[in-house]
Amino acid sequence: MLGASQPAPATARMARSGRSEWQTSCAILTSKVVSQEQSESLPVPPVSGGFDHVPAVNGHHSAAQMNLVPIEKSDGNPLVPQHRHHQQKPLSVTDLSPAPMHGSNLRVAYQGVPGAYSEAAAGKAYPNCQAVPCDQFEVAFQAVELWIADRAVLPVENSLGGSIHRNYDLLLRHRLHIVGEVQLPVHHCLLALPGVRKEFLTRVISHPQGLAQCEHTLTKLGLNVAREAVDDTAGAAEFIAANNLRDTAAIASARAAEIYGLEILEDGIQDDASNVTRFVMLAREPIIPRTDRPFKTSIVFAHEKGTSVLYKVLSAFAFRDISLTKIESRPNHNRPIRVVDDANVGTAKHFEYMFYVDFEASMAETRAQNALAEVQEFTSFLRVLGSYPMDMTPWSPSSSTSCTSSS
């Protein structure tokens, strides 16, 4: 008879099988990262979207299905394949280890290249962190899900440009939790190669929101030039420097000018000085809500059929004196159109929406719990995206970040 402390043979085989699946998945991730390094002389690019095409591993296709959780050895250390490279890169399988709770070892994913405003937001959210650049928003989500990064810091709205709809959709698609927020003042500069004069410019490039936020100022400067959109502000500066474009300027941060060797032709060119972007901090696990400081809670729901349903949902918060700070509607991709047939008036087509709401209350408060219990009566779907501390720091422009970029 087996002793109580000894695993059964079947259980042992299952443990070995699970460990084998995890190691195989890690090896595939390693090959995806290594394949991006074409030569030792080239700089390491930001994290690419290669994780969208991870091949099937033992029947698993998605990151959530692979469930890449580090397995601990008997000595308590995480079992991680020892795969080393002499060249520094943003993502490595050797980084697949439990996330540190505190200190400066946090790996924080952001969208863009070094010098981006998202990098500055990551530095404000997690001082002295290791910033992990990603070329797409979704890659930043996947980096956290696959244990390659510990946190992600991504923009969700701007005071001038409005909501970043892509990230609202990704919040619903992925299972990460909002654990905090950062509000970052945006200070745009007009950058060009050394010696270039404004009157010789024929083109200005930047992120679409960067162009929109400086539209009137560019006109006042007499820059009636072509304006082209690129993936991010710092990427525009990098593109000019890499291609030695002497007829093109970029709208980006002063830090981007420092990194890529550009000159600042005009400083503070945003149309409104109160230009602030709100970022959310994402993690694999939620934080425990508290009541000793101001908290904000974010939810998403789809309402049931009926009359005045949205009004009834919002009344649940108004009745308990809970302030709403944000409400955003996005198409319900699972059911974009609802068709209603009426013999008297004919057929009507209604667009179906998901509603995102932020409200000023902690889920540790009874009033917030009661409000969501009432909301659930009128919704077909309800999910709490996170309950987290509000950013109460004063707005003050900052030209530097305290993150160390891994690229």
Catalytic machinery residues? 277, 279
Report residue 157 as tokens.
Answer: 């709205």
The answer to whether 249 touches 201, Cβ cutoff 8 Å, is yes
The answer to whether 136 touches 276, Cβ cutoff 8 Å, is no
**Which residues are CB-neighbours of 268 under 8 A, at least 6 positions away?**
187, 188, 189
Angle of helix 366-376 relative to helix 309-318, nearest 10 degrees, comes to: 170
DSSP H helices in 67-110: none
Residue-wise DSSP of 134-195: ESSHHHHHHHHHTTS-SEEEEEEEETTTEE-HHHHHHHHHS--EEEEEEEEE---EEEE-TT
Angle at 256 between CA 274 and CA 136, to 5 degrees: 85
Helix (H) or strand (E) holding 388: strand 379-389
The answer to whether 177 touches 283, Cβ cutoff 8 Å, is yes
Rounded to 10 degrees, what is the CA torsion of 165, 168, 169, 175?
Answer: 160
